């Protein structure tokens, strides 16, 4: 999926502008707007997804995104901006479909860790692939996204077919992790009301993490250029390699924690530690104690320590802790929808606000501000869920005793 989403971000659009706005900002906003709309639609789509249609859904959705890239190449600027919005619309559904194959299992942490590592690595790898397509195939910036998708088309078909062969959760999986089933509108509203204060804090935290992740990913080329490292196409992959390995190990270790509420608290702790790592590495970069490469690598590791639990494990363990029959994909998409909305807002503020900061300096300030807020909100969320769990457990014990 990332091969049809990320490669355009490595292109240098030079001084090209539209209505006084940097052309790349238009493209990023267009795609993330489509992605944001997709997440809002996905709140219902993923919650009500028929498991028998998942394979075709993945191929059709990515196919639509790929056709949009073809039209992006054929239609001249600035009229091709709309096609990146169309590209983002179907691609935003893919993660929820993929996650539906692995949720509700004893091995969800391990499978989620592999999934998380893959999308961290895939972001940088497909950007490197886009750079390679431009250099080795002599492709211009407009055709490069479509051609990169062509390179990945056969692997997409094979691995989607393989994913669709995944067996359903066993009876033991269901006993340990709670049954997962589709949710109608009334059930979705009931779920949100039941956990509203904690979910609000988590969604706000996730908005902050999405803002950081998207800015770092979409404007990595701009930051590397300011650091005189833009000519090395491998740097996109290498700067994501360490985060991928660290997150894979950390998330896989969570499988050893059988107690769901304990695992939920560990997930909150990882998010907090991730904010600290991002902030500390940024302060060290400002002081000149770490290189630009290691600063980007460490901030990436820190923000993914926060971002990945939301996408895989945190809501999975939340449902299992409270034995709430539902689907984790639904609440992931609630968080995602507002996360990308926040990301769009920051891009507009960066462009229209009275900022004279470079891409690098803006990211530095963003990391420090977001990390401070993120630590506070995640801490309060952990306190809320632990207290709610203790009350629920106490109430169950009293009823059982009576």
pLDDT, tens digit, for every residue of 238-263?
Answer: 888 888 888 888 877 877 788 888 98
Instruction: Say if residue 309's pLDDT is above 60.
Output: yes
Minimal CA–CA distance to 31: which of 70, 77, 82, 97?
82
Residue with tokens 């530095």: 364
The answer to whether position 346 is within a domain reads yes
Number of folded domains that form the chain: 1
Whether residue 189 lies inside any domain: the answer is yes
pLDDT tens per residue, range 203-242: 899 889 988 988 888 788 888 888 887 677 678 778 888 8
Give the distance, in angstroms, between the CA of residue 256 and the centroid of all CA atoms in the same chain: 24
Q: Which residue has the tokens 């695992």?
A: 263
DSSP 170: P
Give the CATH number, domain containing residue 63. 1.20.1250.20
Query: 402 lies in a domain?
Result: no
How far is residue 266's CA from residue 257's CA, in Å, rounded to a whole number?
9
Residue 80 lies in a domain: yes
pTM: 0.76
Could you tell me the residue range of the domain that residue 103 belongs to? Answer: 2-166+179-393
> 401 pLDDT band (50/70/90 cuts)?
very low
User: Is 207 a domain residue?
Assistant: yes
pLDDT score recorded for residue 173: 65
Percent of the chain with pLDDT over 70: 91
């Amino acid at each position: 999926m990332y091969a049809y989403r990320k490669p355009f971000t490595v292109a240098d659009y030079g001084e090209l502008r539209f209505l006084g706005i940097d052309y790349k900002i238009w493209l990023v906003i267009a795609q993330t707007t489509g992605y944001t709309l997709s997440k809002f639609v996905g709140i219902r789509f993923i919650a009500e997804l028929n498991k028998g249609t998942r394979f075709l859904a993945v191929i059709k959705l990515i196919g639509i995104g790929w056709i949009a890239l073809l039209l992006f190449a054929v239609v001249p600027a600035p009229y091709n901006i709309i096609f990146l919005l169309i590209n983002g619309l179907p691609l935003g559904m893919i993660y929820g479909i993929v996650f539906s194959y692995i949720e509700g299992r004893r091995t969800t942490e391990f499978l989620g860790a592999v999934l998380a590592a893959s999308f961290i690595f895939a972001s940088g790898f497909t950007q490197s692939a886009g750079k390679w397509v431009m250099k080795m195939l002599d492709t211009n910036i407009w055709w490069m996204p479509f051609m990169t998708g062509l390179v990945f088309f056969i692997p997409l078909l094979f691995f989607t077919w393989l994913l669709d062969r995944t067996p359903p959760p066993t009876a033991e999986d269901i006993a340990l992790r709670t049954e997962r089933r589709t949710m109608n509108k009334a059930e979705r509203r009931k779920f949100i009301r039941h956990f509203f204060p904690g979910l609000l804090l988590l969604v706000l935290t996730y908005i902050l993490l999405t803002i950081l992740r998207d800015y770092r990913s979409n404007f990595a080329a701009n930051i590397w250029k300011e650091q005189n490292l833009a000519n090395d196409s491998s740097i996109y992959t290498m700067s994501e390699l360490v985060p991928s390995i660290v997150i894979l190990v950390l998330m896989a270790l969570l499988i050893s924690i059988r107690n769901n509420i304990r695992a939920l608290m560990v997930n909150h702790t990882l998010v907090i530690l991730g904010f600290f790592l991002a902030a500390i590495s940024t302060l060290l970069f400002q002081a000149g104690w770490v290189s630009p490469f290691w600063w980007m690598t460490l901030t990436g590791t820190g923000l993914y320590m926060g971002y990945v639990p939301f996408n895989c494990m945190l809501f999975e363990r939340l449902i299992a802790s409270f034995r709430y029959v539902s689907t984790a994909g639904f609440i992931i998409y609630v968080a995602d929808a507002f996360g990308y909305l926040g990301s769009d807002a920051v891009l507009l503020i960066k462009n229209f606000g009275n900022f004279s900061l470079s891409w690098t300096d803006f990211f530095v300030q963003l990391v420090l501000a977001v990390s401070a807020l993120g630590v506070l909100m995640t801490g309060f969320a952990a306190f809320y869920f632990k207290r709610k769990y203790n009350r629920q457990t106490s109430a169950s014990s009293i009823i059982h005793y009576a």
